[in-house]
């Protein structure tokens, strides 16, 4: 993967104009006793944290704060507030919209050391975990008490629970369990002035006013720093089966996804793969072809529930019109092998080049038309580009990845760039410009395509109320005024 792609972050305003002093090496913050012993300024260590996972966005930072307790997080944020220092919260740095990338030279607040499970209640089916705990560790903690955590995604070994809350991550099982917001029973967070707020009692019913978890889910580190969360767990499944289903085109895949959702109450994933993406992962990861003949569109389907899943999945697949071929797996190794075609898509594309990553949702009825037109649009303008499409078909969520757009066209995603073209097409077709990755810094200039001026103004008023100095993740999510 190209580390930086020769680009050095984006131009334009980084702060909202309310931050009195931007981060510089002679930061007053670094003289604040509250951050003594928690600060890293070694450029070699910082280098891995100032670029995003894709390598497309590269920033800079004079220092990174690494608290390991809730009290230390509060002290760090309070010190940033006292010294009017802009700060970017960072978890596993697997986000795909540069939300945790300090493109304006901000200080980083790394939450990775604030890790661990504090409470696991097998009777209630709940966990209380610190925000730097990885998703994989949360899943393991749930399994250890006989439950499961409802969210899963391919970056599970690095992505933190705090990052997944801040981005309201979706992932592979939204069709069954909902997004991260739906798993939250409570959130504790540090506000911009260092005040600790929140409730970790994990009550399932609590209508006592504004819902902090709902507000902070998807707030991308702009309203508060998440320190701990109380999570609801989901019933463990006894049996799983996975199938790959070959179909003629995206329209057939959308119809099949609908039919499967209707006929399989224990459907837990419906993922869409296209022929070129499948061929790519076979090349990059040495995977064998799943079918004797390549198929234009493939659905990966998982059913998880009471015994008999293979029969139920088999019967459902037989009931779908236009299935060219299908493979079904029940044992864990074979299931994992089928999942691999889907899970390594992102990594395989990264090996082709630095990708424009556009994670969008379309109404189901328009998904097929979008897939066709977006490819034609991009290739019509940039014939040497490659357009890779895959996604969570059960949610209408497509990941559009574009590689091979020559500089300087893709330089900064200006109004004529690839991102502009794709996101305008999505908005025109009634979709969302961000299905599950958030807005970050990469999509800020297009937020107006989905949000009205009144909504943006309301969001700004909320931001101002909770973070009057604008120190928390400036430049992310909200467009500059
Ligand atoms: C291979 C791969 C597959 C992926 N698959 C999916 C997928 O299926 N679905 C999906 O939704 N995403 C997916 N992602 C994106 C990514 O994993 C998620 O966005 C994840 O939630 C990011 O978690 P993180 O800890 O890495 O956060 P980071 O990247 O560190 O940060 C993301 C955002 O959260 C903020 N933040 C981080 N921690 C905190 C905190 N404690 N308090 C406040 N703000 C905070 C940051 O400021 C930033 O705005 C994938 C990424 C990769 C690399």
Q: H helices within 303-417, ranges in order?
A: 309-318, 332-343, 345-352, 367-381
The pTM of this model reads: 0.91
Altogether, the residues listed in the chain come to a count of 481
- Would you give the end-to-end CA distance of the chain in angstroms? 35
pLDDT at residue 125, as a whole number: 97
Pick the closest to residue 34 from 10, 67, 1 (CA basis): 67
What does the pLDDT look like over 451-463, one tens digit per residue?
999 999 999 999 9
Average pLDDT estimate for 165-175: 95
* Strand spans (E) along 345-459: 356-361, 386-392, 397-403
Q: Is the pLDDT of residue 136 over 90?
A: yes
Whether 135 contacts 151, CB under 8 Å: yes
Query: Please, what is the average pLDDT of the chain?
Result: 92
CB 99 within 8 A of CB 477: yes
Predicted confidence at residue 409, as pLDDT, reads 54
Separation of alpha carbons 405 and 413, rounded Å: 11
**Structural element, H or E, at residue 167:** helix 161-167
> Residue 431 CB: number of other CB atoms within 10 A?
23
pLDDT reported for residue 9 = 35
Ligand 1 pocket, residue 153 CB under 6 Å:
yes
CA 170–ligand 1 middle distance (angstroms): 10
What is the predicted pLDDT for the residue at 255? 95
Which of 49, 91, 102 for mutating ligand 1's site (highest number of atoms within 8 Å of CB)? 91
Q: How far apart are CA 103 and CA 99, in angstroms?
A: 9
Q: Find the 305 Cα to ligand 1 centroid distance in Å.
A: 28
Q: For the chain, what percent of residues have pLDDT higher than 90?
A: 88
Question: How far is ligand 1, taken at its centre, from the CA of residue 167, in Å?
Answer: 6
Which tens digits make up the pLDDT trace of 266-311?
Answer: 999 999 999 999 999 999 999 999 999 999 999 999 999 999 999 9
**pLDDT digit string (tens) for 420-452?**
999 999 999 999 999 999 999 999 999 999 999
* Centre of ligand 1 from the C-alpha of residue 163, in Å: 5
* For the CA of 476, the nearest atom of ligand 1: 49
Spacing of C-alpha 4 from chain mean position? 20
**Contact indicator for 254, 322 with CB cutoff of 8 Å:** no
Summarised one tens digit per residue, pLDDT across range 36-80 is 999 999 999 999 999 999 888 999 999 999 999 999 999 999 999
What gap in Å lies between CA 423 and CA 416, rounded to an integer? 11
Across residues 370-389, what is the average pLDDT? 95
pLDDT tens readout for residues 407-417: 645 545 455 68
Task: Write down the pLDDT at residue 5.
Answer: 29
What is the DSSP pairing of strand 297-305 with strand 267-274? antiparallel
Nearest atom in ligand 1 to 111's CA: 41
What pLDDT does residue 416 have?
A: 63
Distance 295 CA to ligand 1 centre (A): 32
- The reported pLDDT for the residue numbered 414 is 56
Residues 229-233, mean pLDDT to the nearest whole number: 98
In three-state secondary structure terms, 472 is strand
| Closest approach atom of ligand 1 to CA 52 | 29
pLDDT(10) > 50: no
Instruction: Name the phi and psi angles at 260, rounded to 5.
Output: -65, -40
Residue 335 CA to residue 354 CA, distance in Å, equals 30
């Amino acid at each position: 993967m190209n580390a930086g792609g020769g680009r050095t972050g984006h131009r334009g305003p980084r702060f909202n104009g309310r931050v009195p002093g931007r981060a510089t090496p002679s930061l007053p913050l670094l003289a604040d006793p509250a951050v003594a012993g928690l600060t890293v300024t070694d450029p070699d260590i910082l280098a891995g944290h100032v670029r995003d996972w894709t390598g497309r966005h590269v920033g800079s930072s004079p220092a990174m704060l690494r608290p390991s307790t809730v009290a230390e997080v509060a002290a760090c944020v309070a010190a940033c507030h006292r010294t009017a220092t802009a700060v970017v919260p960072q978890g596993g740095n697997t986000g795909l919209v540069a939300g945790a990338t300090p493109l304006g030279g901000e200080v980083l607040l790394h939450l990775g050391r604030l890790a661990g499970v504090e409470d696991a209640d097998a009777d209630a089916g709940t966990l209380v975990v610190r925000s730097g705990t990885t998703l994989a560790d949360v899943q393991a903690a749930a399994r250890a008490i006989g439950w499961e955590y409802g969210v899963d995604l391919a970056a599970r070994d690095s992505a933190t629970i705090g990052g997944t809350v801040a981005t309201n991550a979706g992932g592979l099982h939204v069709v069954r369990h909902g997004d991260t917001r739906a798993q939250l029973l409570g959130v504790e967070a540090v506000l911009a002035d260092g005040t600790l707020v929140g409730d970790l009692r994990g009550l399932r019913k609590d209508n006592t006013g504004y819902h902090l978890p709902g507000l902070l889910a998807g707030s991308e580190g702009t309203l508060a720093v998440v320190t701990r969360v109380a999570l609801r767990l989901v019933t463990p499944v006894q049996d799983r089966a996975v199938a790959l289903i070959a179909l003629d085109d995206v329209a057939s895949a959308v119809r099949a996804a609908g039919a499967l959702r209707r006929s399989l109450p224990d459907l837990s994933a419906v993922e869409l793969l296209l022929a070129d993406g499948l061929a790519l992962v076979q090349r990059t990861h040495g995977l064998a072809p799943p079918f004797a003949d390549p198929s234009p569109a493939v659905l990966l389907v998982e059913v998880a529930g009471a015994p008999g899943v293979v029969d139920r999945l088999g019967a459902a697949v037989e009931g779908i019109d236009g299935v060219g071929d299908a493979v079904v797996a029940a044992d864990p190794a074979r299931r994992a092998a089928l999942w691999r075609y889907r899970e390594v898509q992102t990594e395989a594309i990264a090996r082709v080049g630095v990708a424009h990553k556009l994670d969008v949702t379309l109404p189901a009825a328009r998904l097929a038309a979008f897939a066709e037109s977006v490819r034609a649009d991009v290739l019509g303008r940039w014939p040497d580009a490659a357009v890779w499409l895959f996604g969570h078909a059960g949610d209408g969520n497509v990941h559009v990845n574009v590689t091979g757009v020559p500089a300087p066209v893709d330089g900064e995603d200006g109004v004529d760039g690839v991102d502009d073209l794709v996101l305008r097409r999505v908005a025109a077709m009634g979709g969302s410009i961000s299905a599950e990755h958030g807005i970050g810094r990469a999509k800020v200039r297009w937020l107006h395509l989905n949000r009205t001026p009144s909504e943006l103004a309301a969001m700004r008023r909320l931001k101002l109320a909770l973070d009057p100095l604008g120190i928390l993740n400036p430049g992310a999510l909200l467009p500059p005024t």
